[in-house]
Copies of this chain bind each other. A is one copy, B any other.
Amino acid sequence: MAESSLNKIQNLSGSLSQRVYQSLREAILSMQYPPGTVIRKGAICEQLGVSRSPVAEALARLSAEGLVDVIPQSATKVSCFSMDEIREASFLRQALEVAAVEKVTLERSEEQLAALTRNVRMQALLVEDKDFVGFYQADEEFHTLLMNFTGFNGVSQVLDSVSLHLVRARMLILPEEGRPAEAVKEHQAILAAIKEQDVDAAREAMKYHIGQLIPRILPLEESHAEYFKM
């Protein structure tokens, strides 16, 4: 028995509901619970050693977020995604990241610029060393830094909540030769525009960078049709 691949809730903080929610969310986003997976409240209760109340609350929140589909009085499944939803998520992400990079370009401090520069240099080194998991983390940090440098604490979370389907689909993309190197170049272009305080260049560079994800996701609709709606 695989012990259900659910993270132990003991390691998490907050109320029981909160911990169950985090555990399930993590399992779904990491594709350990792939789209279509049937979630039974009873099973979750047993595996996590909690009663049905916190599980019900957690599933209600996941349902509101669109990560699970509840079929009334019958079952609840991990939601599938459609290419339309992924396109929409990409559109929303682009909107937020573009707005963020515009604001940061105009208002950046020297410290912020230094932090971004350091991060991008690190990216280049990691790719050179072929440390791709390290690069992945640095990549995520680059975007998180930008979000936080807007001065608004919540935008990073909004971006997450809007990119849910995107994050899951991204898990399925096969490592592509040369893509990390390209991504570094795109990050460098964004950084250069921020440095020069060239808003138009920053906007276009970010648009292009975010836009690069969709064409790589497109083939999934055929190669992983079981995860798509209809």
Binding site for B on A (CB under 8 A): 15, 17, 53, 56-57, 60-61, 64, 72, 84-85, 87-88, 91-92, 94-96, 98-100, 103, 150, 152-155, 158, 162
Cα distance, A96 to B96, chains bound together (Å): 7
Are B72 and A91 in touch, CB under 8 angstroms? no
Cross-interface CB contact of A92 among B17, B64, B88, B96, cutoff 8 Å: B96
**Please, could you name 17 A-B residue pairs with CB atoms under 8 Å apart, sorted by A?**
A15-B72, A53-B56, A57-B57, A57-B60, A64-B64, A84-B152, A84-B153, A88-B152, A91-B103, A92-B96, A92-B99, A94-B99, A95-B96, A95-B98, A95-B100, A98-B99, A99-B99
Tell me, rounded to whole Å, the shortest Cβ–Cβ distance linking A79 to chain B: 13
Question: Which residues of chain B come closer than 8 Å to A61, judged between CB atoms?
Answer: 60-61, 64
